[in-house]
Structure 1
Amino acid sequence: MRYLLLTLFCLLAGAAHAAPAKAYMSIIIDDLGQSSERDSRTLALPGPVTLAIMPDTPHATDFARQAHKAGSTVILHMPMDPATGPYAWHPELTLTELASRLDAALAKVPYAAGINNHMGSRMTAQREPMAWLMAELQRRHLFFVDSRTSAATVAAAKAQALDLAHVSRDVFLDDVRTRDAIQAQLQQGVELARRQGSAVLIGHPYPETLDVLEREMPRLKSQGIELIGLQQMIAERGNQAMPAHGKHGRYSNR
């Protein structure tokens, strides 16, 4: 009897420390709207991909409409300091001007279901503007993706404080633009998804990135990875911070 109880205890302890039963992955491609060829190739990737379109690009509006018609998730890739241009957010701007630039950017990217930051290492560290942005997105029924371009970001923490639908990026695919490096980053995403149950990856429409994704996305299922859309990922994570971004589900930078 004691042996049976010990065996049962060991089995239960092992199950408690086992990897999650499912491993989910979502992929976001940033900087879209600049090239019709790269936009179309991204749209044709073999699986659900979220398309982050920059407002100050020549094909932003047309591609947003095309992607929406194809059933893809479109988000606004919002320029933030140190990004420049007519839509970019900077710390010295008033909330009125920030609101005006957000309105104009959303008008350029129709059907946006949410936004993520383009660059933004300075801007996403600003508490008041980030708190305002999350309240505004809540009002508009849009979600937020923290690209985490800086360890000092408070954006996701401000979203969490309002219970705004959001996720944070886990892995950048293509900081190094070689196929081998991108392949290694994708594998890091696979291993992270297996370990913590999910991984959010961000890449760009570089030829090298698209080459790797075209080849590897169909193989993810055989590695135990389920590719899901970003809205489903938000639901799976339930607005909780991943271990790399905080403790006990709460973001560190509050």
Structure 2
Amino acid sequence: MRLLLLLALICIVNPTKAAQVAIIIDDIGYRQTDTAVLSLPSAITLSVLPHTPLGKEIAQLANDSGYEIMLHLPMQALNGKKQGPGGLTNQMDEQEFKQTVANALESIPNVKGVNNHMGSLLTQMGEQMMWLMESLKQRDSYFVDSVTTRYTKAGEMANKLGIPKLKRQIFLDNDVSEAALERQFQQVIQQANNEGQVVVIAHPYPETIHFLQKNLGRLQQQGLTLVKTSQLLPYRLAQKDPKIAGSKTHRQ
């Protein structure tokens, strides 16, 4: 009897927390169709490219509607693909690099965090990733590593400065066919249940928006909670605790 009472007390004091899913829609800012992301629940996080024709407007509308806004910061890729405005390269010295980051952050209002656009080359470079984290520390921003290379050093540098950080675990829409989206969505559900949380990156493709509109309700049916990305940050890191210093790859 005492054992049963003790177990009941433990459950009351420390109730089981529902597994959580954060979905980041990035690559926002160039197309008028990107505004379709505003039809999704405000628990979806929107990551906006800097210096884009529609980025500032969409970010402001989204913030007014309760969405969390991130900066989708372009970084140099191994394949030499052009980064677009605000892109960071390994040819920049520290001053130019940090000024480029600052300008990108200034171009999008209400930014809470940053994730990398492309970056399979630059995220492997410890010095440049340290410059990035130093810039984010000044802005109290968190970082999500899109993991476009398995050799990324972004998380390591974030830990050294105590920057709140997460990493992408699943890309939802490398293939936008219905069957492929369903396979990835099933993986989201499975991984969230297995690990307690999962960070997903998707894009504002019409097929992706339509799929999410139809299927996001299944998360709750599976006992999962859709949350803003910052809600997955380790609590003590999010509180800037000074004691803490520390699938498939989408290559770009």
Q: Tell me the TM-score normalised to structure 2 length.
A: 0.83
Q: Deviations over 1:116-139 (max 9, x none)?
A: 100000010000010121122112
Contact 1:47 1:217 in 2 (8 A): no
Task: Give the letter for the 2:154 counterpart.
Answer: A
| Structure 1 residue 21, shift from structure 2 partner | 5.1
Of 60, 63, 68 in structure 1, the residue corresponding to residue 58 of structure 2 is 63
Contact 2:102 2:135 in 1 (8 A): no
Percent identity at matched positions? 36
Contact 2:42 2:66 in 1 (8 A): no
SS at match of 1:92: coil
Contact 2:28 2:204 in 1 (8 A): yes
Distance in 2 separating the partners of 1:237 and 1:53: 27
Q: Tell me the equivalent position of 1:222.
A: 221
| Structure 1 residue 104, shift from structure 2 partner | 1.5
SS at match of 1:190: helix
The 1:45/1:236 distance shift into structure 2, 3 A limit, reads: farther
| Structure 1 residue 189, shift from structure 2 partner | 1.0
Q: Tell me the TM-score normalised to structure 1 length.
A: 0.82
Task: Give the letter for the 1:31 counterpart.
Answer: D
- Aligned residue pairs total 224
Q: Tell me the equivalent position of 1:79.
A: 74
Q: Tell me the equivalent position of 2:249.
A: none
| Structure 1 residue 230, shift from structure 2 partner | 1.0
Distance in 1 separating the partners of 2:236 and 2:175: 28
| Structure 2, unaligned runs of 5 or more | 5-15, 239-245, 247-252
Q: Tell me the equivalent position of 1:172.
A: 171
The 1:238/1:191 distance shift into structure 2, 3 A limit, reads: farther
| Structure 1, unaligned runs of 5 or more | 1-7, 9-19, 240-249
Q: Tell me the equivalent position of 1:112.
A: 111
Q: Tell me the equivalent position of 2:13.
A: none
Q: Does 1:49 align with 2:49?
A: no
RMSD: 2.2
Contact 1:173 1:201 in 2 (8 A): yes
The 1:47/1:186 distance shift into structure 2, 3 A limit, reads: farther
